[in-house]
Amino acid sequence: MPDAREAGAGPRLPRVKGFAGWPAEGSAKADGKALRGRIPRADHARLDLDASRPDAVQAVEESSRGRLPGLTPIRVGRMAATPFAFLRGSAGLMGHDLARTPVTGIRAQICGDAHAANFGLYGDARGGLVIDLNDFDETASGPWEWDLKRLAASLVLAGREAGADEDTCRAAAQDAAGAYRRTMRLLAKMPVLDAWNAIADEELVSHTDAHDLLGTLERVYEKARANTSGRFAAKSTEATEDGGRRFVDAPPVLSRVPDAEAAAVAASLEEYVTTLPEDRLPLLARYAVHDVAFRVVGTGSVGTRSYVVLLLDHRGEPLVLQVKEARPSALAPHLRTAGFEAAGAVPGAGGDAAAGAGHEGRRVVLGQKRMQVVSDNLLGWTTVDGRHYQVRQFRNRKGSVDPAALAADQVDDYARMTGALLARAHSHSADPRLIAGYCGKNEELDEAVAAFAVRYADRTEADHADLVTAVRSGRIAAELGV
């Protein structure tokens, strides 16, 4: 009897760790489809709130623990502005609620805070602009459904704030889920290498039929191109007698820090450079650290420690790094409730993923790199006085669409675009064939997610009203308009 090689079966090679081996047993698509028997797609419309749910004010107070007390009133003030702003600052509360909703058990690297304002533009290594998810403070390994439902609910709230009627808001949520489903089905049919980098940014508008959004996107692109370290440094620094530059106080958003604090942040960059690929080191070696300041960050992160570090090259041209505190994901305890243990790691992702659970900055960086097609080439992490931080370029040509300021006829376009981007991000860690098999061809899942989104938007409006009442009564301090 001829051996396998003689029979044309090819050489017998050992199974290599990290490679699944093909052909795999069974069918990922069929496995996904079979999950509908256990978790019908219509069940995703459910929102079951129980007596363990904290009220809105309790949730805000709990999420403020460990933050700088002097800044928490700014955070509360921002959350009290609108229901959409409240949702942006309450990822943990929504995590509590999502942990009591049906999940298929398919694990993906999730953003954890995939609301409609957390998509945007940023610069790649060659100065081009990329559009993708752009906030990963809460990233973890968990249910793909949670990101999709948070996105859908945020679109309803943003649409309401923009003045769109209720049918338009619900349609936006349904369109986001539909674009997610269709994009996942498209990726499932493609060769793996093609799917990995699929749907180039220049194809997004046509892929998602978002033509009404073109004018808005063009304006955002133009603004993003000018949003650089150089422009920020020109506005926020002044020349020093020795020919360098330093930050100028602009409280409460930007403030100088004591010398010892600045020195600790600067010294932490030695650890940071060890987390970068070696080919980045000659680049950073051509800069010198000149100053450090504290800078208040966005709604969900207000009160966490965040610094900007000014570096100058031999010509005095600036590079600004952000050293931002990385706290444990607000979803971590709720993921355990939902049966998703080891929230920091993606099964099969290798040793780095598992090790990343030990350092919150590393968790954020690895999660971001798993979800984005292209990431900031200076992403890294460090530790300052025992606290974990992520490090990234500041004002790296960042730009974003304000979903709450869109015209009514643009909300659904934006929903389809963000739904497609979310599917692309999830497909890097979850097999798109598995999710596509579950989602199917019809709109059953889309309709269920839209129904959930409307219910959750209503709940968020009630939570926001409770927070506003608490602010007015003096139960909780708020600094408005900052």
pLDDT digits (tens, 9 = 90+) for 441-464: 999 999 999 999 999 999 999 999
Confidence at residue 2, expressed as pLDDT on a 0 to 100 scale: 46
Cα 305 versus chain centre, distance:
19
Looking at this protein, which amino acid is placed at residue 385?
A: D
Cβ pair 136, 145 in contact under 8 A: no
- 336 lies in a domain? no
pLDDT at 178 over 70: yes
Q: How confident is the model at residue 127 (pLDDT cuts 50, 70, 90)?
A: confident
Residue 305 near residue 337 (C-beta atoms within 8 A): no
Q: Predicted confidence band at 126 (pLDDT cuts at 50, 70, 90)?
A: confident
CB-side neighbour CA atoms (13 Å) of 238: 6
Asked if residue 363 is part of any domain, the answer here is no
Domain membership of residue 444 as a residue range: 33-225+407-473
- C-alpha separations of 109 from 106, 139, 234, 348, 366 in Å: 10, 7, 38, 12, 10
* Average pLDDT over all residues of the chain: 91
Query: CA-CA distance, 264 to 382, in Å (whole number)?
Result: 11
pLDDT in tens, 10-32: 677 777 777 766 556 678 999 99
Gap between the Cα atoms of 385 and 309, Å rounded = 17
Alpha carbon distance 316, 155 (integer Å): 43
Query: What's the whole-number mean pLDDT along residues 157-167?
Result: 97
Domain tally, the chain = 1
Q: Confidence band (pLDDT; 50, 70, 90) for 1?
A: very low
Whether 438 is covered by a domain: the verdict is yes
Q: How far apart are CA 96 and CA 66, in angstroms?
A: 19
d(CA 334, CA 422): 21
pLDDT(88) > 70 = yes
Position 357 scores a pLDDT of 54
Rounded Cα distance between 451 and 178, Å, is 13
Residues of the chain with pLDDT > 70: what percent? Answer: 93
pLDDT of residue 7 exceeding 90 = no
* Strands 254-256, 245-247: pairing kind: unpaired
pLDDT-based confidence at residue 9 (cuts at 50, 70, 90): low
Percent of the chain with pLDDT over 90: 81
Question: Given a cut of 70, is residue 234 above it in pLDDT?
Answer: yes
Length of the chain counted residue by residue: 482
The span from the first CA to the last CA of the chain, in angstroms, equals: 81
Residue 298 within a domain: no
Across 87-105, average pLDDT: 97
144 assigned to some structural domain: yes
Question: Does residue 203 register a pLDDT over 90?
Answer: no
Going by their DSSP bridges, the two strands 119-123 and 380-384 should be labelled as unpaired
How far is it, in rounded angstroms, from Cα 67 to Cα 304?
A: 5
Beta strands 129-133 and 119-123 are: antiparallel
* pLDDT of amino acid 348: 42
Helices (H), 80-165: 83-88, 91-98, 144-162
Tokens of residue 131, six digits: 């559009």
Does 357 map to a domain? Answer: no
The tens digit of pLDDT for each residue in 240-266 reads 998 899 999 999 999 999 999 999 999
Please calculate the CA angle 71-77-78 and round it to the nearest 5 degrees: 95
Is residue 459 situated within a structural domain? yes
Over residues 351-396, the pLDDT tens digits come to: 444 444 589 999 999 999 999 999 999 999 999 999 999 999 998 8
Q: Is residue 4 part of a domain?
A: no
